[in-house]
Chains A and B, each alone.
Chain A
Amino acid sequence: MVRALDTKLLRDLWHMRGQALAIALVIGAATATFVMAMGVHHSLTQTRDAYYDRNGYADIFVTMVRAPRSVVEQLAAIDGVAQAEGRIEQFATLEMPGRIAPVRAVINSVGDGGASTLNRLVLLRGRGPVSDKAGEVVIDKAFADANAVHLGDRIDAIIYGSRTRLEVVGIGLAPDYIWSIAPGELVPDASRYGIFWMGEKALEAASNRQGAINAVALKMDRGAKEAEIIRHVDTLTSQYGGTGAIGRKDHLSNAFLQSELDQLEAMTRIIPPIFLLVSTFLVYVVLGRTIRTEREEIGLLKAFGHTSASVGWHYLKFALAIALLGIVLGSAAGWWMGRSMTGQYAEYYRFPFLYYQVSAPVFLAGAALAFGSAAIGAMGGVRKAVTLSPAVAMSPPPPPVYHAGWIERLGEKAGLSAVGNMIVRHIARWPGRSGVTVFGVALSLGLLFSVLQFIDSSRAMLDNYFFRAQRQDISVSFIEPRNEKVLSELASMPGVIRVEQARAVPVMLRSGPRSKRVAIEAASSDDRLTSRVDAQGFEVALPASGLMLSRALADHLGVSVGDRVEVELLGGRQTSTTMPIASTIDELIGTRAYAQSDVLSRLSRDGAPVGSANLLIDHARRDELIGRLADMPMVLGVTERDAAMGLFQRIIDENIMSMMGFYIAFASAIAIGVVYNSARILYSERAHELATLRVLGYHRNEVGIVLLGEVALLVVMAVPVGCVVGYWLARLMVAMFSSDLFRLPFAPERSSYGVATLVVLAATTATAVIVARRVNRLDMVRVLKAHD
């Protein structure tokens, strides 16, 4: 049988259903974001780990210019290495009919039928290539989908300078290419960059590498030390032009996935706490008010012999019941949102399977957080209910006392009307509750602003990188470094206005125990097409001598201007020297190092081969030029700035559109929850006064102003507070979402403050108007007889 107190609880909840639902929505938003982020994080991690495990994802990767196959055995013999496998990685240019923009692929060698011990290929359709059958390839699923390539289709490719006809015998995936990007590109584009696998013998023949390889993957023994193995690997591979071994955390595919996972984790640490904080305050305010109005009932219950503990538990259950509703709504919403988000990840990250599954502990942790924050919010009210003595409780509470304080005089000085004074004094009379309203609305605005800032930040990065730092129209990269003659060859092509050499030399920088593998990028002082732009958007000149390091790299190495770092050349002449750090630059993308061309030439002493070039072109002759470049032997890639920029923009927009909907809804949930409760409490407290005003001859809308005026004033006060909260929240998010790969700038558009404010104002106005319609229900007749 349901106890009478529980019946009261259910009726009270039903009676206050609007307020309870508003709080439940805020708690639900907390639970939803928590379940979504943790659920997606968990699902991606599980999927990744299972994929890595089943398909032998390697622990260490090294690429070389050219090494004999025997190097694999040497590397396998290193203490702590469990397995080693060598392969060829060869870039190719593809000739896709009807496509002007260049399409490229990296072709990896595999054993017969696609077999390998590490980074094993998953065949989704078709079969693996026969080892010595020329032209048989497996292509990655994303490329196949993006270009509508099917089994049995043929693609013409330029491999190592000669045209080869490839036949698609299979479509697959591999754990080392969960995420991939063409060299020199900023944005992945599966339609223009493919991952192919070809039989070992066939690729040896096509790339002129009989008996040779250029990449090795290693699997470590359990407990082996990665850094030590890498040192051994570097020593062994240096003679073959090794460019420095890297562990999983530096392997591009894994690093990007990891940075995504880190962002999800950061999200669970920022967003749910905001909602929980607001819901704690709401429970505090609403339960506090309920207990004030139920003083007499509390006295009665105690007089009848209910213990203080049972009365306290009764009110705690009130808060927990609201939390339960929020948990149920939030868990369902979070599960659903997580599923749609996981679906989106499946488009960017290539898994053969993607298990979306939210484990029970995630739901339980979400529930525990929600119950906990509701219970904390309930503490103040419950304590009051527990400590009220029955005799005191059964007498009505003393009326609110107003004194002529400075606020009262302020209102008088400001020439406020009587109604104006009612509004201002009520706010001042309940500073805690007014504060909660201001703070809650401010948090809602702040949250929305920080999300909008995210968009601005991505656009600023786009602007910084593409508009300011990269002014070329086209970048051309070569399969192997060319001599300087290629520059004049390019300059004489149709539509080319300007040609500049772009050069990067892979090195290992060391300072004490710290080291980082980077490429030193060279530029000469008369370069016009590229420049170094810092996070603030200012161009930074290269020092005449010495190195310029990005701030992130300098921090990583623990060095500052004036220090010297050890520079070890990789991938060719393995020499080592020390160079001074002449300056640092605060950059957004990557850990990078720069030097003047002549400084770099003196370092490398190799006659400055041309690895790639930047072109400024006449757009009218673009198609003709692209066609000529595609025919040029040894051209590996042609990157068009506008296309990359457009793609980047599209990715930002797609992500934003889906995320924005969620966040506008969530931020509105806070604003609605806070304002609805604030207005409802205000209404119930002032119903008697409002009815009196109606009797005195105030029209409904005039009485509505008394009710809405206070809410409006608090919301207006919340706007500047919200902008400040948003500013710091956005800074916090930018800091937490930045990784080694890129750093988000804090670059809000002014309009973002405006948009956030407008959304919050719209949500609060709509909510307040709904409550204000209760003015129609004021009972003027009762007020004549009733005590307040």
Chain B
Amino acid sequence: MQLRLFYACTMEKCADQQGTNGRAAAFVGRALRKTYVTGETQVHALRGVDLEIYAGEVLVLLGPSGSGKSTLLNIIGGLDRPTAGELWYGETELTALDDAALTRFRRANIGFVFQFYNLIPSLTAEENVRLVTDISDDPMHPADALDLVGLAERRTHFPAQLSGGEQQRVAVARAIAKRPGVLLCDEPTGALDSQTGIRVLETLAQANRELGTTLILITHNAGIAAMADRVFNFLDGQIASIAVNEKRISASEMAW
């Protein structure tokens, strides 16, 4: 019963209902399993994961390829469903939603940043941001979002006219423009050099700081873990350990 009550909380409504370490939980997952069947072999991507992700924290998912971190990110983002287990976002049980409701969930709450930017080549920087603001309830002005990532001057440029770092910052602007509760970033600096990567991470940290957005990052770069509140270390489809950073460092201080 206590558990149900806990699940039923949203960050806003139940600010007094505290998680184990005194912070509100954005996501609560219990016994999450994901099994892919490819041909005659079964791949156990997640093997019973329990987790709590706190509102407003910076969480880094670390681990080798195939350890299950991307699968978890996809399930958190409402792109995929677990084979078993429950996942709650505030009072919403994501694992019970149908496709249309999951889409509404993504539209309202989630901002995505991809490794390869995934900008629409036929749209300018500003129009790529508008793709999201067109369908959001209370978005920023696209120009303001671009301003936040330092690309106000480049708003009429097409992706082909922007550098990789600039493209990724447009992607970040696109992700934050709807003021999402959660930012999900899968290897956001994977295709960037260190200087550009740091610039992008600074932008993400800024969104976390100024908008209170929960930031969940997948990375292979252990150095990035230093900017997180907590780090989930994945191994073989399970969270092997959780590290808590007493003191976060800023992106500019991190060792790449």
Interface bits B115-158 vs A (CB < 8 Å: 1, else 0): 11010111110011011101100000000000000000000101
What is the chain A residue whose CB lies nearest that of B122?
Answer: A425
Also in contact, A401 and B134, with CB within 8 A (given A696-B112, A698-B103, A781-B74): no
Identity of the chain B residue whose Cβ is nearest the Cβ of A403 in the assembled complex:
B158
What are the nearest 7 A-B pairs in CB distance? A697-B107, A425-B122, A418-B130, A697-B106, A418-B131, A692-B118, A780-B79
Given A404-B124, A418-B127: A783 in contact with B74 (beta carbons within 8 A) = no
Q: What is the CB-to-nearest-CB distance from B35 to chain A, in angstroms, rounded to a whole number?
A: 15
Output the residue of B70, B104, B106, B159 with the most chain A CB within 10 A: B106
**Do residues A695 and B106 form an inter-chain contact, with CB atoms below 8 A?**
yes
Given known contacts A399-B121, A784-B115, A699 and B100 CB-to-CB distance under 8 angstroms = yes
**Does A689 have its Cβ within 8 Å of any Cβ on chain B?**
yes
1/0 contact string of A670-696 vs chain B (CB within 8 Å): 000000000000000000110011111
Q: Which residue of A lies closest to B132 (CB)?
A: A696
Docked complex Cα distance between A692 and B127 (Å): 15
A-B CB contact pairs (8 Å), 9 listed:
A399-B121, A418-B128, A418-B134, A697-B135, A699-B103, A700-B99, A780-B79, A785-B70, A788-B121
Contacts of B79 in A (CB 8 A): 695, 780-781, 784
Interface bits A136-180 vs B (CB < 8 Å: 1, else 0) = 000000000000000000000000000000000000000000000
- Would you call B242 an interface residue if the criterion is a C-beta within 8 Å of the partner chain's C-beta atoms? no
B87 nearest CB across to chain A (Å): 16
**Residues of chain B contacted by A602 (CB below 8 angstroms):** none
- Report the separation of the CA atoms of residues A688 and B132 in the bound assembly, to the nearest whole angstrom: 17
State A788–B117 Cα separation when bound (angstroms).
10
Output the nearest chain A residue to B175 by Cβ-Cβ distance: A696
> Which chain B residues lie closer than 8 Å to A693 at the CB level?
131
Interface size class of A (residues with CB under 8 A): 35 or more
A607 proximal to B (CB < 8 A): no
Task: Please state if B115 and A698 are interface contacts (CB–CB under 8 Å).
Answer: no
For A402, list chain B residues within 8 Å (CB).
Answer: 121-122, 158, 160
Give Cα A688 to B106, complex, Å: 18
Q: Measured between alpha carbons, how far is A786 from B160 in the docked complex, in Å?
A: 18
Kindly name the residue among A400, A418, A700 whose own CB sees the greatest number of chain B CB atoms within 10 A. A418
B6 at the binding interface (Cβ < 8 Å)? no
**A66 contacts B by Cβ under 8 Å:** no
B135 adjacent to A784 (CB under 8 Å): no
B80 at the interface (CB under 8 A from A): yes
Interface size class of B (residues with CB under 8 A): 35 or more
Residue of B nearest to A702 (CB): B135
Q: Are A697 and B132 in contact (CB under 8 A)?
A: yes
- The reply on B166 being an interface residue by CB < 8 A is no
Report whether A421 and B127 are in contact in the complex, using a CB–CB cutoff of 8 Å: yes
Interface residues of A in 383-418 (CB under 8 A from B): 399-404, 408, 417-418
- Tell me if A419 counts as interface (CB < 8 A to partner B): yes
Q: How far in angstroms is the closest Cβ of chain B from A453?
A: 40
A181: interface (CB < 8 Å): no
With a cutoff of 8 Å between Cβ atoms, the chain A residues found around residue B108 in the complex are 697
- Say yes or no: is B110 at the interface (Cβ < 8 Å to chain A): yes
Q: Which residues of B contact A429 (CB under 8 A)?
A: 122
Minimal Cβ-Cβ distance residue in A for B115: A785
Q: How far is the CA of A408 from the CA of B158 in the complex (A)?
A: 11
User: Is the CB of B186 closer than 8 A to any CB of chain A?
Assistant: yes
Known: A418-B134, A421-B127, A696-B132. A401 touches B116 (CB 8 A): no
- Write out, one digit per residue, whether chain A residues 513-552 have a CB within 8 A of any chain B CB (1) or not (0): 0000000000000000000000000000000000000000
Cβ distance A689 to chain B, nearest Cβ, rounded Å = 5
Distance in angstroms between the alpha carbons of A646 and B2 in the assembled complex: 87
Q: Report how many A-B pairs have Cβ atoms within 8 Å.
A: 99
Task: Please give, as numbers and ranges, the residues of chain B lying within 8 Å of A697 by CB-CB distance.
Answer: 103-104, 106-108, 110, 132, 135
Beyond the given pairs A697-B108, A697-B110, A788-B121, 5 more chain A to chain B contacts, judged by CB atoms under 8 angstroms and listed by A's residue number, are A400-B122, A422-B123, A695-B112, A699-B100, A781-B79
**Residues of chain A having any CB pair with chain B under 8 Å:** 399-404, 408, 417-419, 421-422, 425-426, 429, 688-689, 692-700, 702, 780-781, 783-788
Task: Choose from B99, B100, B118 the contact partner of A688 (Cβ within 8 Å).
Answer: B118
Q: Nearest residue in A to B116 (C-beta to C-beta)?
A: A787
**In the complex, A425→B158 CA distance in Å?**
12
Which residues from B are CB-within-8-Å of A688? 118
How far is A696 from B114 in the complex, measured between Cα atoms in Å? 11
Selected from A404, A417, A692, A696, the residue in CB contact (under 8 A) with B158 is A404
A781 with B122: in contact, given A403-B158, A404-B158 (CB under 8 Å)? no
Is the CB–CB distance between A421 and B160 below 8 Å? Answer: no
CB neighbours (8 Å) of A692 from chain B are 114, 118, 120
CB B182 to nearest CB in A, in angstroms, measures 12
Q: Kindly provide the distance from the CB of B115 to the nearest chain A CB, expressed in whole angstroms.
A: 7
Known contacts A403-B158, A418-B123, A700-B99; is-contact A784 B106 (Cβ 8 Å): no
Contacts of B115 in A (CB 8 A): 784-785
Asked if A784 contacts B122 (CB within 8 A), the reply is no
Alpha-carbon distance A695/B105, docked complex (angstroms):
11
**A787 CA / B190 CA spacing, docked (Å):** 12
Given A697-B106, A780-B79, A781-B79, answer yes or no on A417-B124 (Cβ-Cβ < 8 Å): no
Does B160 lie within 8 Å of A399, measured CB to CB? Answer: yes
In whole angstroms, how far apart are the Cα atoms of A405 and B218 in the complex? 38
Cβ of B159: which chain A residues have Cβ within 8 Å of it? 399
Across the interface, B131 reaches (CB within 8 A) one of A399, A401, A696, namely A696
- Give every chain B residue within 8 A of A702 (Cβ-Cβ): 135
Q: Tell me which residues across on chain B come within 8 A of A786, comparing CB atoms.
A: 116
Q: In the assembled complex, which residues on chain A have CB atoms less than 8 Å from the CB atom of B100?
A: 699-700
Q: Is the CB of B74 within 8 A of A426?
A: no
A669 to chain B, nearest CB (A): 32
In chain A, what residue has the closest Cβ to B74?
A781
Nearest-neighbor residue (CB-CB) of B131 within chain A? A418
Per the bound structure, the CA–CA distance linking A677 and B132 in Å amounts to 30
Say which residue of B74, B110, B156 sits within 8 Å of A784 (CB atoms). B74
The distance in angstroms between the C-alpha atoms of A616 and B174, with both chains bound, is: 83
B119 to chain A, nearest CB (A): 8
Return the chain B residue nearest A424 by Cβ: B122
State the CA gap A403–B112 with chains docked (Å).
Answer: 26
Flag B223-240 by CB within 8 Å of A: 1 or 0 each: 000000000000000000
A402 to B159, CA, bound (A): 8
Q: Which of B99, B103, B104 has the most CB of A within 10 A?
A: B103
- How far is it, in angstroms, between the C-alpha of A63 and the C-alpha of B168 when the chains are bound? 95
A611 to chain B, nearest CB (A): 77
Tell whether, in the assembled complex, residue B122 and residue A421 are in contact, meaning their CB atoms are under 8 Å apart: yes
Asked if A404 and B156 make an inter-chain contact with CB atoms under 8 angstroms apart, the answer reads yes
Cβ B118 vs Cβ A698 within 8 A? no
Give min CB distance, A777 to chain B, whole Å.
12
The residue on B at minimum CB distance from A694 is: B103
**Chain B residues with Cβ under 8 A from A404's Cβ?**
124, 156, 158
Q: How far is the CA of A695 from the CA of B186 in the complex (A)?
A: 13
B131 near A419: Cβ-Cβ < 8 Å: yes
Closest A residue to B103 by beta carbon equals A699
CB-CB under 8 A from A425, the residues of chain B are 122-123
Shortest distance between the CB of B156 and any CB in chain A (Å): 6
Cα separation A417 to B121 with both chains bound (whole Å):
15
A695 to B118, CA, bound (A): 10
Which residues of B75-116 have CB atoms within 8 Å of chain A's CB atoms? 77, 79-80, 99-100, 103-104, 106-108, 110, 112, 114-116
Q: Collect the chain B residues with CB atoms within 8 Å of residue A426's CB.
A: 122
Tell me the complex Cα distance, A784–B77, Å: 11
Chain A residues whose CB sits within 8 angstroms of the CB of B106 once the complex forms = 695-697
A697 closest partner in B (C-beta): B107
Query: Bound state CA distance, A702 and B131, in angstroms?
Result: 12
Contacts of A399 in B (CB 8 A): 121, 159-160
Nearest CB in chain A to that of B119: its residue = A692
Question: B80 — which chain A residues lie within 8 A by C-beta?
Answer: 780-781
Whole-angstrom CA separation of A419 from B127 in the bound complex? 9
Q: Which residue of B lies closest to A706 (CB)?
A: B120
Distance in angstroms between the alpha carbons of A403 and B122 in the assembled complex: 8
How far, in whole Å, are A696 and B103 apart by their CA atoms in the complex?
Answer: 8
Shortest distance between the CB of B233 and any CB in chain A (Å): 21
Contacts of B135 in A (CB 8 A): 696-698, 702
